[in-house]
Structure 1
Amino acid sequence: MKKQHLRGCKETESPPNITIKGILGLLMESVDHSDDKQVISLGMGDPTVHSCFSATVAAQEAVVEALRSAKFNGYSPTVGLPQTRKAIADYLSNDLPYELSADEVYITAGCTQAIEVALSVLARPGCNILLPRPGFPIYGLCAEFRNIEVRYFDLLPDNGWEVDLHAVEELADHNTMAMVIINPGNPCGNVYTYQHLEKIAATAKRLAIVVIADEVYGHLAFGPNPFVPMGTFGSIAPVLTLGSLSKRWLVPGWRVGWLATTTTVGTLKNAKFVERLKKNCDICGGPATFIQAAVTGIIQGTQDMFFKKNIRLLKQTSDLCYQKTTAISCFSCPSKPQGSMVFMVKLNSSMLKDISDDLDFCFKLAKEESVIILPGSAVGLQNWLRIMFAAEPSSLEEALERVKSFCDRHAR
């Protein structure tokens, strides 16, 4: 076994074996419902609970039209409807230096199923995977179910949450199958530069590993760095791109995701790997057929003004969130959010009485103020907090005022 390194760690310091939904459920149980305060959740990454974030009429009409046609009541091919695969391939190709074919896209039930498929097809006896810390805990849970050893590399908060590539090189060995990159960042709210992504690809090439690029928040960037898909560097290293309609189109409950082999090199293109992908899809199935059939209409019918409006709103709420959190003395934030819908705030619990750590903070905050925030321990970073800023500005402001009151009340 490799010795633990300062820049990264193996499974011994992994996030707790519980899902984000599980922790948020426990936090909701802690709320004092005898209090008149309305519960405000800044924990779950579902913007649609707020009326300012809603799907377009075009998206709704595309689903209704597909359903009423009565042409999509049967099973779809397990890899996805041909027209759906083509629609996603065309959509992804808009930002790539090469054209994806429909055969390189596999439709999944949300990005969670895409994660399951990716890890299943890459797994082999004795293998390990490199995951970011902080990160999205579903990767660790999926790896555990498939007996894949997990090794965590740190993201660097003082450097825009960039990947510690030295840690990646130290943690990898001949059994490493892949590394995961989440961009725009969940939970950090960062957006990687072209140059940093290129370095990640070069590192993956040296290590002969696959890059699993989680781009669920693709294009939700509102800072100085534009969103660059990892598949841009698919000629350097093999890249599996995972995504969904959930965030950009504001339809998380429709469960439309995808896995795409956005690469021109490596084993991802050989017939044996493609056959494994198809067989895995045979086991898993995918989204409802009529929802798949609506994807072309959803993509083609959504106007740019919808995306621009949401980006403006996310910029507004992220700025508000950053302003309010940095005004709380026991909080610190290394940088303003640049993308996605969440970001990380460091908690200095030593400045608070009767608060031991981030978990204690979040449970007492839920009980006393009816505000739900995700403890950083849930995403692998103790004494940090993950805050969701995709909310009604007025609700967000009230929630953060309550957080400040809570911190003032518990101040030493």
Structure 2
Amino acid sequence: MPLHALPTRERLTEVRYEIRGALARRARELETQGRTLVKLNIGNPGNFGFRAPEHLQQAIVQHIADTDPYTHQQGLPQAREAIAAHHAARGGFEVSADRIFVGNGVSELIDISLRALLNPGDEVLLPSPDYPLWSAATILNDGRPVYYQCLPENGFQPDPAEIESLISSRTRAIVLINPNNPTGASYPRETLEAIVAIARKHGVLLMADEIYDHILYDDATFQPLAPLAGDLPCISFGGLSKVHRACGWRVGWAVLSGDRSAMQAYTQAMDLLGALRLCANVPGQVAIEAALNGLDTITPLCSPEGRLFETRRALIEACEASAHLDLVAPAGALYGFPAVTGPAAHAFDDHAFALELLETEDVLIVPGSSFNVPYRNHFRVTLLPQPEVLRDVFARIDRVLEKRAALAA
């Protein structure tokens, strides 16, 4: 008698994560056949020759003997004190270590923070495009994503008026990803101030994903949200994965700010959920203090002649030279989000294009619609490879688009 198939959670059918989805599975199949691929789907510095800074590695080596026991569910006290001091210094306001939660990466903390907040049917305002984990975590915690459009023709900036128009009696939070993944947009102070005013007027939580806070190019600046929010409930997320190139260490943090009494029940809910998973990875936590107080190793990479700056330059120049691509130059983060335009965009399907590029040119990218946008003519690449690798990739992309343009003529 055949066994019955195990049922799965129904809401999983609403979740997509193409960054590691069907295209990535097909890429693995091709690699088993002996194909050599250029994989630009994940912002994973260690896969492109980057290493976590030496002083972070040494912090772990020197303290590894102390990391066997569980720690407090909120994280190592000295790590939380370092995070508190770092946020206070950049924002000019008091941050308390007892309101900081260290997690196994920001991803875990996003899930926990939404689980502590949402009841079935509650709404979360998310940017479109978004990092799709935010949509997935909202859905899997029985919430409803509601998207505000960050349009390419507006430099992928949010429109505060649209955000306010989307608020309903079920809205519980406004999420900002700044600098943005996948677009690289960095939000100006006046825009953030307008969004803070909206959150204050309607009594909703602000959630600021700031994992790329120090990855900035040219004259771009980063404005943290919490200092503008003041006594308004706000959660700011950061970590070691991107700025410090330590993705595999799984170290992130959530900083709760705003009026204590207004956030008391929510803080207790976060603490309960943190306790249920016991604690975050302890060895990685011992590197937090060294990361936040040590040598700045990211700014040189983002400055002229630095690796990330020069790969971004290669992206911009490749798109400018192409008859088929348009790009809003990323101001920060680790990605570009080009658009396919002109005859090559006729009847264009971003997923079909990504599959064709993988099968014919050995390049793995992420379709733009994976980031919860209503249009299908964008794709995301990471800025982590060497500049010459990215130039070669875009020569391959142009070959595929040239064929599509010829067929459309």
What TM-score does the superposition give when structure 2 sets the normalisation length? 0.89
Query: How far 1:265 moved relative to its partner?
Result: 7.1
Task: Indicate the residue corresponding to 1:406 in structure 2.
Answer: 400
Q: How does 1:211-290 map to 2 (within 5 A)?
A: 211-235=206-230, 237-264=232-259, 267-268=262-263, 270=264, 272-290=265-283
Report the CA distance shift for 1:234/1:264 in structure 2 as closer, same or farther (over 3 A). Answer: farther
Task: Indicate the residue corresponding to 1:362 in structure 2.
Answer: 354
Contact 2:345 2:377 in 1 (8 A): no
Query: How far 1:236 moved relative to its partner?
Result: 6.0
Contact 2:361 2:396 in 1 (8 A): yes
Partners of 2:331 and 2:171 in 1: CA distance: 31
Contact 2:207 2:234 in 1 (8 A): yes
Task: Indicate the residue corresponding to 2:378 in structure 1.
Answer: 384
Report the CA distance shift for 1:277/1:233 in structure 2 as closer, same or farther (over 3 A). Answer: same
Q: How does 1:142-161 map to 2 (within 5 A)?
A: 142-161=137-156
Task: Indicate the residue corresponding to 1:309 in structure 2.
Answer: 300
Which secondary structure state, in structure 2, belongs to the residue aligned with residue 163 of structure 1? coil
Quick one: which amino acid aligns to residue 339 of structure 2?
K
Q: How does 1:52-201 map to 2 (within 5 A)?
A: 53-67=50-64, 70-201=65-196
Q: How does 1:9-48 map to 2 (within 5 A)?
A: 17-29=16-28, 31=30, 38-48=36-46
Report the CA distance shift for 1:277/1:218 in structure 2 as closer, same or farther (over 3 A). Answer: same
CA deviation map 1:299-358 (0-9, x unaligned)? 33x312x2222212322211210110232222212x2111000121112385268x7410
Task: Indicate the residue corresponding to 1:11 in structure 2.
Answer: none
Contact 1:213 1:241 in 2 (8 A): yes
Report the CA distance shift for 1:172/1:320 in structure 2 as closer, same or farther (over 3 A). Answer: same
Query: How far 1:377 moved relative to its partner?
Result: 1.1
Partners of 2:151 and 2:130 in 1: CA distance: 12
Contact 1:66 1:291 in 2 (8 A): no
Q: Name the Cα RMSD after superposition.
A: 2.2
Which secondary structure state, in structure 2, belongs to the residue aligned with residue 253 of structure 1? helix
Query: How far 1:110 moved relative to its partner?
Result: 0.1
Quick one: which amino acid aligns to residue 52 of structure 2?
A
Contact 1:181 1:213 in 2 (8 A): yes
Partners of 2:322 and 2:179 in 1: CA distance: 26
Contact 1:117 1:280 in 2 (8 A): yes
Quick one: which amino acid aligns to residue 22 of structure 1?
G
Report the CA distance shift for 1:239/1:105 in structure 2 as closer, same or farther (over 3 A). Answer: same
Which secondary structure state, in structure 1, belongs to the residue aligned with residue 66 of structure 2? coil
The answer to whether structure 1 residue 322 and structure 2 residue 319 are counterparts is: no
Q: Comparing 216-225 with 365-374, which one deviates more in the overlay?
A: 216-225
The answer to whether structure 1 residue 342 and structure 2 residue 368 are counterparts is: no
Contact 1:108 1:285 in 2 (8 A): no
The answer to whether structure 1 residue 204 and structure 2 residue 199 are counterparts is: yes
Which secondary structure state, in structure 1, belongs to the residue aligned with residue 287 of structure 2? helix
Which secondary structure state, in structure 2, belongs to the residue aligned with residue 241 of structure 1? strand
Task: Indicate the residue corresponding to 1:3 in structure 2.
Answer: none
Report the CA distance shift for 1:233/1:135 in structure 2 as closer, same or farther (over 3 A). Answer: same
Partners of 1:16 and 1:223 in 2: CA distance: 36
Query: Which structure has more RCO (C-alpha within 8 Å, separation ≥ 6)?
Result: 1
Report the CA distance shift for 1:287/1:265 in structure 2 as closer, same or farther (over 3 A). Answer: closer
Query: How far 1:150 moved relative to its partner?
Result: 1.5
Partners of 1:78 and 1:328 in 2: CA distance: 51
Query: How far 1:23 moved relative to its partner?
Result: 4.1
Partners of 1:131 and 1:352 in 2: CA distance: 27
CA deviation map 1:43-102 (0-9, x unaligned)? 111122112x321111111111111xx222111111111111111111222211212111
Partners of 2:245 and 2:82 in 1: CA distance: 18
Partners of 1:198 and 1:164 in 2: CA distance: 12
Report the CA distance shift for 1:135/1:224 in structure 2 as closer, same or farther (over 3 A). Answer: same
Quick one: which amino acid aligns to residue 205 of structure 1?
R
Contact 1:191 1:338 in 2 (8 A): yes
Partners of 2:15 and 2:275 in 1: CA distance: 31
Contact 1:245 1:252 in 2 (8 A): yes
Query: How far 1:147 moved relative to its partner?
Result: 1.0
Quick one: which amino acid aligns to residue 25 of structure 2?
L
Quick one: which amino acid aligns to residue 298 of structure 2?
F
Count residues in correspondence: 389
Partners of 1:290 and 1:105 in 2: CA distance: 18
Quick one: which amino acid aligns to residue 47 of structure 2?
V
Partners of 2:162 and 2:287 in 1: CA distance: 43
Partners of 1:161 and 1:29 in 2: CA distance: 32
Partners of 2:185 and 2:87 in 1: CA distance: 21
Task: Indicate the residue corresponding to 2:3 in structure 1.
Answer: none
Quick one: which amino acid aligns to residue 404 of structure 1?
D
